[in-house]
Amino acid sequence: MNDKIFKAGTFQFDVKLGDIKSNLAKVVEGLHILGDRDVDMAVLPEMWSCGFDNQMLLDHAKQTPSIIDKLSRTASKYNMIIAGSLPEASGKDIFNTIYVVDSNGNIAGSYRKIHLFPLTEEDRYFSAGNRAVVCNTSICPIGLMICYDLRFPELCRSITLKGALVVIISAQWPIDRIRHWDILSQARAIENQIFIIATNRCGKEKGIEFGGHSQIISPTGEILSMAEEGECASATEINLYKITEFRNKIPCLKDKG
């Protein structure tokens, strides 16, 4: 088991609907703050470039490759892994896809959201992914999840069994259900004995207020970092040996049957 120690960070902000220029500028600012804090892995919210601007998704998705190029340069500059969800165009399909850019600027992996949220008709505008993903990075294997995925423990368990030591979650989770966000994030960490890095957006859109509460959670459920409701860049140290330590003490994964 890996015994690496590194610094992880979250950057939550108010995603402006359809305004890629503004959102990208805000993310560059946030990553600069985290870079100055020597953060090794940064996680951004769900659909951070444009929000759920559903009528214009294809146009926004066409800009995703250039956005990833920008992230690649930033990742290389700060020697930082950067992850967050963006619209992806593939043929006639649009996916809600989380990309992981490694610290050398290369794409380490990507994951298409499997569970599309019916309450906001996400399934009308996006196609669903069909594959759980763990990507190898310069720090450790990382599992990927997006927002509504958090409510499906079997997905997090599957990527844990595939070798993920850290699971990152990008989200746009409303404040009305923020208690669920907190509890489920902690549960996924505890039941799988992994680190969770979960970044939610803040702000308001179309009458919905988003809850923030971006957080980093240890395998024992300890909240190592917690943002409040507004714009916030947070960081904390992660010691991967804690996974070995806790799994040796309480061998849930060995005893799962």
Q: Strands 93-101 and 107-112: what pairing? A: antiparallel
What the block records as the tokens of 96 is 């809600």
Asked whether the beta carbons of 255 and 25 are under 8 A apart, the reply is no
Selected catalytic residue, list 26, 46, 122, 140: 46
Q: Strands 195-200 and 202-205: what pairing? A: unpaired
In the annotation, is 77 catalytic?
no
Asked whether the beta carbons of 48 and 85 are under 8 A apart, the reply is yes
Distance separating alpha carbons of residues 27 and 11, to the nearest angstrom: 8
Distance separating alpha carbons of residues 128 and 117, to the nearest angstrom: 10
In the annotation, is 252 catalytic?
no
Nearest to 57, CA basis, from 5, 94, 4: 94
Selected catalytic residue, list 26, 50, 88, 113: 113
Selected catalytic residue, list 50, 135, 147, 202: 147
Beta bridge partners of 211: 202
The CA-atom distances, in angstroms, between 90 and each of 131, 206, 223, 240 are 16, 28, 37, 36
In the annotation, is 70 catalytic?
no
Q: CA torsion sign, 7 to 167 to 47 to 87?
A: positive
- By annotation, the residues acting in catalysis are 46, 113, 147
